[in-house]
A and B are shown apart, each in its own frame.
Chain A
Amino acid sequence: MKHLPKHLQPRWRYLAVEIETHPKEDISRDAFQTALWQAARALVGDAGSATIGLTVVRFRQYDGGNEAVVRCYRGTVDRARAVIACVDRVGSTPIGVRVRGTSGTIRACEEKYLGRAHVKTEERTVVFDGEERTAVVRPPRVDLREGSTYVGATDLDFQHE
């Protein structure tokens, strides 16, 4: 199909979104997209969702987290932020999300807010509360294994050892 004349093309804004999970949890682009649409539908309804847009246009996994670029229509950035804040899990995986910033182009969005130097993670045994625990370490973050989930800590919690 022939593309629209410039003045009729939709105007987009791109949101750089950081998605944090517990260690070793994988979330896929599709799953995140579904969660986003569900959150939008729950918060602003079908009509509101259509007004905002909210398509995941870039999605990248890195060691210890994910980052995405989410597209919304110009003028709906605040509503898009509100919807993104309401995504508390993807499938059954709890996530933390934050909008790092917004841009007018995908490229500017990626260059300005995404692809920062990522720290390597490693597994280690640490002593916490006088007990030996398995932990996933990504300085300064330390995630202590507890049953099937993790407790978040930092290296500050271990300085006295």
Chain B
Amino acid sequence: MYEAVRPRDATVSRLALTVGEYGYDGLIVRATPEDLETVTAQAAAVPQPVGIGLELNPTDRQEASGAVGHYRSACDLLLVRGGTPDLNRFAVEDPRVDVLTAPMAKQGDVNHVIAAAAADNGVAIELNLAPVLRASGGRRVQAIRSRRKLIELLEDADAPWVTSADAADHLQMRAPRDLIALGEVIGVGADAIETGLTTWGRLLERSQRRQDPTVIEPGVYHGRPEDRT
């Protein structure tokens, strides 16, 4: 199981230490184009498996499209932050994108069309537990409702999803078992959270396979067959 953290008030190594103590197998570090270099350098020193997830925060489709092409090869996972129906639609229709994050934030919404497109293109949608863990009152009620809706659509469309507590420092991190228990209480189901936490690792593997220089296209490799495991 992996957790996707945001190194804002803690360094990558501190988050990695906590991730290890809490029982995760590794971590995905969310970087922005501005701090990508620092984050990559910090991540290199960490003993756990680390993936760099570059999170783009575009305002519209044009900006997103340019940035996706520009940054695709600079990171392990390419994350696009949603927030409007149009951006959400854009992200799931581009197979170069790995994850659509925060699809329900701001004016964002997800429908069956987006879920189906995500399933077709192998783009995972994020089930972000941050507002469930750290917001209160009406905002939290809406967040829980939207997360239930999201998981229902994703399960129906058989689309992949990832889960995260979206921690900005080591104190905001929560253990996988605690998140799984929370999932059951808020009505998205324990299995949904567990699947979401494992999917990060699957995406990372997929990305490493795709960026492997010996891969020409799926099923076609450069080199001797016996060298491949």
* Contact B13 A94, beta carbon cutoff 8 Å: no
CB-CB under 8 A for A153 and B13, given A85-B179, A98-B22, A99-B178: yes
Q: A79, A96, A141: which contacts B173 (Cβ < 8 A)?
A: A96
* Contact A95 B133, beta carbon cutoff 8 Å: no
Q: Closest CB-CB distance, A50 to chain B, in whole Å? A: 15
* Contact B169 A152, beta carbon cutoff 8 Å: yes
* Contact A153 B14, beta carbon cutoff 8 Å: yes
A156 beta carbon closer than 8 Å to chain B: yes
Residues on the A chain within 8 Å of B10, using CB: 151-153
B17 beta carbon closer than 8 Å to chain A: yes
* Contact B13 A154, beta carbon cutoff 8 Å: yes
Residues on the A chain within 8 Å of B184, using CB: 78, 82
| Bound Cα distance from A159 to B45, whole angstroms | 9
Q: Interface size on B (CB < 8 Å)?
A: 34
* Contact A153 B175, beta carbon cutoff 8 Å: no
Residues on the A chain within 8 Å of B21, using CB: 98
Q: Closest CB-CB distance, B197 to chain A, in whole Å? A: 14
Interface residues of A (CB under 8 A from B): 20-22, 42-44, 78-79, 81-86, 88, 94-99, 140-142, 149-154, 156-157, 159
User: 11 extra interchain contacts, Cβ-Cβ under 8 A, other than A42-B140, A142-B14, A152-B11?
Assistant: A81-B177, A82-B185, A85-B179, A85-B181, A85-B182, A98-B22, A99-B175, A99-B177, A151-B10, A153-B10, A157-B42
